[in-house]
């Protein structure tokens, strides 16, 4: 019987990826349907950039710390 060890960083990457996708999706929704009263720096679309950055970091962490098959019999 083989035991798998999964790094906590894999789950942190998963969390970053999911949150990044949600934030970026909310930013795209606001871009398509702008609010009646926009915030001062609305034109910069920080939520889209921040969501994309979080998604990239999460994907990198997930790929770097992905669970691997145990070696040996």
Q: Tell me the pLDDT tens digit for each residue of 9-60.
A: 999 999 999 999 999 999 999 999 999 998 899 999 999 999 999 999 999 9
Q: What's the pLDDT band for 68 if we cut at 50, 70, 90? A: confident
Q: What is the pLDDT of residues 43-57, one digit of tens each?
A: 999 999 999 999 999
What's the pTM?
0.85
CA distance 50 to 47: 5
- Of 45, 49, 52, 46, the C-alpha closest to 20 is 52
Q: For the residues of 16-49, what is the DSSP string, one character each?
A: HHHHHHHHHHHHHHHHHS--SS--TTGGG-HHHH
């Amino acid at each position: 019987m083989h035991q798998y060890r999964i790094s906590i960083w894999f789950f942190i990457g998963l969390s970053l990826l999911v949150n990044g996708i949600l934030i970026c999706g909310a930013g795209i929704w606001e871009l398509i349907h702008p609010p009646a009263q926009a915030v001062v720096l609305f034109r910069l679309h920080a939520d889209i950039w921040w969501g994309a950055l979080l998604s990239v970091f999460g994907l990198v962490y997930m790929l770097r710390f992905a669970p691997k098959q145990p070696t040996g019999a």
